[in-house]
Structure 1
Amino acid sequence: MQRSAIATAALLTACASPSPPPPAPAPTPRPSTTATVPAAGRLNTPGAVRSMTEMRQQAARRIVAANPNGTYVGTVPDILLAIPVLEIELNADGSIRNIDVLRRPGQAPETLQMAIDAVRRAAPFGDVSRAPKPWKFAETFLFNNERKFKPRTLDE
């Protein structure tokens, strides 16, 4: 009798606590349909470029990706805080050879150094050895009142 009572209790206990449902399968990541800007703060390995137009586009996307808290990608405001312009000269491997200032902003002069630092954080910019020399391009930094910038190349 005692054995059957224990067996019955074990059977009731097993029936009272149903097993948890199997975990739902993890969602399958979808590939991105836009290759404009890599995930915030994360830089992909830059690809080789064959023209300086490709170089400028790739560099602008890298500058935004390398500076996620200092950039905006929406509409450019009608009135900008500052507009520094830099000329970036590269080595064949895409590393920075030189940065020249083409335009110093009249107000908010600190934005010039912010732009230079943003370019340095985004380097290297990819193999340019197959592009025609000189390996230089200019970038205009459109700073809004929050001191966040957008590379003008992304609006072209």
Structure 2
Amino acid sequence: MRFIERTSTRAAALTASAALLAGVLTSGCAPTQAPAPQPAPAPAPARPAALPDTGARWMAPATPKSLSELRALAAMRIRAANADRHYDGTVPDMLLGIPVLEVELNADGSVRRIDVLRKPSNPQAQDTIKLASDAVRRGAPYGDVSKLPRPWKFTETFLFTEDRKFKLRTLDQ
């Protein structure tokens, strides 16, 4: 019986504390007594230095209903995850490189493999292949593709300018 009394007393004290804190927060008044320190949140998992977090991971991936929708949704996620590396507007007459990648996914939308279908002909643009591959990885996951027919693949063409910013051909059409 004592356990029940102590538990209900603690619950009442917690409820009263929460009500007091809620009243202080809504009234804008400072509390007279400092609240108990909260435990520090667990640190976020470390990300590779080459792939900085751009906030795209907070966007919930949509579940594509067809392979063509997968390609469009993937292009939008790649663009969102690489906003500082992407350019808008018209494609310039001269491009640095145009790598074409084929991306194979796992059932959960994570990247399984990236194959290069077309390498840039410009020798100075060979690094755009890695830039494009990294951009695809930053955009993952691409949603649950388990209900789509296999293979779970899409292709994307990257249009790189001299300053190594890209535009996706899927979004340029």
- What is the TM-score with the length of structure 2 in the denominator? 0.65
State the one-letter code of the partner of 1:98. Answer: R
Tell me the residue number matched to 2:98: 83
Using the alignment, how far apart are the partners of 2:169 and 2:162 within structure 1?
A: 16
Match of 1:72 among 69, 87, 96: 87
Q: Structure 1 stretches of 5 or more lacking a match?
A: 1-40
Alignment of 1:17-36 (within 5 A): none
Match of 2:147 among 117, 130, 155: 130
- Structure 1 moving runs of 4+ over 2 Å: none
Alignment of 1:41-120 (within 5 A): 41-43=54-56, 44-107=59-122, 108-120=125-137
RMSD of the TM alignment (CA)? 1.0
Using the alignment, how far apart are the partners of 1:128 and 1:78 within structure 2?
A: 36
Tell me the residue number matched to 1:151: 168
State the one-letter code of the partner of 2:132. Answer: A
SS of the equivalent of 1:129 reads: coil
Higher helix content, 1 or 2: 2
Matched residue pairs, number?
116
SS of the equivalent of 1:56 reads: helix
State the one-letter code of the partner of 1:52. Answer: L
Using the alignment, how far apart are the partners of 1:84 and 1:140 within structure 2?
A: 6
